[in-house]
Amino acid sequence: FVYRQISSGPSGQGELSSYSSRGRQKLESLLNKNMRIRMTDGRTLVGLFLCTDRDCNVILGSAQEFLKSSDSFSQGEPRVLGLAMIPGHHVVSIEVESDSLVGTQGFGSSQ
């Protein structure tokens, strides 16, 4: 999932409006999909995408937290958080579970 700055371009407001509605449709299609969010402090949260706002804050439902491990092969036990709010300025990357998008297993980048 990629965040891009919106510019109005030469066509003015029409292009901005079209881009906004495509972005809104994309976000709506991701509602209630499993997401993996990597954060600036190394933690990873996995849960259902419930909502976001203009500051890119994200709300995940049924969230689990995975701590950054010194051993790259071991994720350790997840900590169950439930409902979690991730401030947008702490988000490093967002991945959507690919089987919720196209019918395959695992997580894949959505762009």
- What is the full per-residue pLDDT of the chain (111 aa) written as tens digits? 443 333 344 545 555 567 778 888 988 999 999 999 999 999 999 999 999 999 999 999 999 999 986 555 556 789 999 999 999 999 999 999 887 665 444 555 444
Distance CA 10, CA 53 (A): 27
pTM: 0.69
Question: What is the span of the domain harbouring residue 45?
Answer: 25-96
Residue 103 lies in a domain: no
Residue 8: HSE in the Cβ half-sphere, 13 Å Cα cutoff: 5
Check: CB of residue 92 under 8 Å from CB of residue 2.
no
Residue 64 lies in a domain: yes
Residue 14 lies in a domain: no
